[in-house]
Amino acid sequence: MKKMFSILMQCKSCRTKNRVPAAHLADVGRCGSCKAPIEPASGPIDADSGSLQPILQEAKVPVFVDFWASWCGPCRVAAPEVEALAKEMAGRALVLKVDTDANPELAELYKIQSIPNFMIFRNGQVFLQRNGLVPRAEMRRWLEQAGAAAK
């Protein structure tokens, strides 16, 4: 039997932590305790070698992945734009961040040669890969090209 991967998301009403399966991170859910709505993931999700593949495979929406490192100046410049992108695309796409220093095996797997490096996945497959700073509008355009519904 296949084990489903999940992320803990806190209910804004009662603060209970709820397990949200990767396949439903872009959906509106319901708190198991108080039954209040749990909004779709609206911030970047920190991914590592244990969580990246399950999320990519189970996501029903395009996934934007930011490969970065704390020492990288351009990565720090891109971070607020990636955060804003996650809020803007909540429910239509997922935004993940992979620290390449903490997860060198993922950097090697995806042939990350320079950072920041952005990848878009659709149905678990690489749709697009670009490196270097770009405006948030460009990031949004990539996600929309990959199938994220336009607002």
- Which amino acid, 70? S
Residues 17 and 95: their CA atoms lie apart, in Å, by: 20
Place of tokens 């060198």: 104
Residue 14 annotated in active site: no
Cα separations in angstroms, 110 against 21, 37, 49: 24, 36, 12
- Which amino acid, 51? S
Token code pair at residue 33: 């305790």
Residues 99 and 33: their CA atoms lie apart, in Å, by: 33
Residues 37 and 11: their CA atoms lie apart, in Å, by: 8
Catalytic residue among 14, 31, 34, 75: 75
For the annotated catalytic residues, the residue numbers are: 72, 75
